[in-house]
Structure 1
Amino acid sequence: MTEFLNLQHVTSGYGETVILDDVSLQIAKGECVALIGRNGMGKTTLLSTLMGHVPCRAGTITLGSQDVTHWAPWRRSRARLGLVPQEREIFPSLTVEENLTVARRADGFTLEQVYEWFPRLAQRRGNKGNQLSGGEQQMLAIARAMMGGPELLLLDEPLEGLAPVIVDIVMQALARIREAQGLTMILVEQQVMAALAFAPRAVVLVRGRIVYDGPSEALREDRATLDRLIGVHS
């Protein structure tokens, strides 16, 4: 597979605090990776560093053949990075369709495509963002990111606070998107077993460093290691 994203010795953080410490990671085009770990270990910071919301203090970030280490967030978005933030950040006063069309690129995905992935949004297209349930808002956040036509989709805890039936709907939609579009994905998720079942490759962060990078299946079956690194049973 062709290498698409390359982090080499990346260090970043907030103020004087270092969160990511000398992280190196390579992801191939079309690959799906589950980024997991306990709270506060640097998962969201890694996504924010990729998007340019947190500055890279050391190291390099390459997307395709382009060094994007010091690019502004808007340039990274134009380079086909898409983010589904943990807070969703939809526009409460806009309708579902307005939330989608405001994010659309001419060469991105269409309303028809995202409505096919999320039929419930089609039914609620005239409802405002603040009239949606939490699950519907999460569907809208994912659909809005897809309207920008990303080649790399970053998902920050998309299952947080969702009922089990909505979790199934969201994961099924992400699977359809991945299979149909061949997107590269990084999934940050506290529902560890769901993330490991979805992504063939797992990366575990502990105190801002990668301590595991390998097959999800092997980690899923090694409950002792999971409990030691993540505290799955605690």
Structure 2
Amino acid sequence: MRDTSSTMTTPTGNQQEELTTILLVEDEQDLLELLKYNLNREGFNTITAMTGEEGLKQVRSTSPDLILLDLMLPAMDGLEVCRTLKSREHTANIPVIMLTARGEESDIVRGLEMGADDYITKPFSPRILMARIRAVLRRAEAELLNNQSGSTMSSGGIHIDPDRHEVIANGEAIDMTATEFKLLSLIMSKPGRVFTRQQIIETIHEGFAAVTDRSVDVQVVALRRKLKDAGRNIETVRGVGYRFKE
């Protein structure tokens, strides 16, 4: 029986939190288990499927943050799965990385033309795979922030106007730095979702090595202080990161 669980234990070992979820669509059982092991070890939630049809069902029921998609699948192949995902409005923005033994230039071009965000050939280095996954997730988060330009957000007494670079908290205008504005926009973009400190570093600071987990904590403290009572909406998930209260 295939394990389709999407929950894993946080680094504290005592609680479970919603982290970045990756759907693995791969018909080789051994490789599927290897991918799942490496992703879970790196702190990702994993959901698995062994056919294209099952993968599409998992997308409908779980809305993963990224999909690792094998090209050579029985019945519906990876290209068709990718084309289907990118043609539907509610799944078009989910990043897709194609993982396959077919490394010819024509195959890569076809995959990218179908809307794949990256293309990795087998055999592969787990470290390189993780780096590519994080790069694609980082680009997706950055694109999300860019798409928010011109779109206001309001939640928990906080109102953000990206075009005016304006934040109103409980009726009071709040003066913010560019970094604080990006941080607040990021966590407010998906209320209830946990953003790890590393995700915040990679998205807000573009992975700048001098920015540490402690730096993120200090920035969050400063942000809460400026937001006053509304700052309570920024919740700490112990051992993981931060989220905006739903």
Which protein is bigger by CA-based radius of gyration? Answer: 2
User: Relative contact order (alpha carbons < 8 A, sep ≥ 6): 1 or 2 greater?
Assistant: 1
Q: Larger % of helix: which?
A: 2
Q: TM-score normalized by structure 1?
A: 0.30
Q: Larger % of strand: which?
A: 1
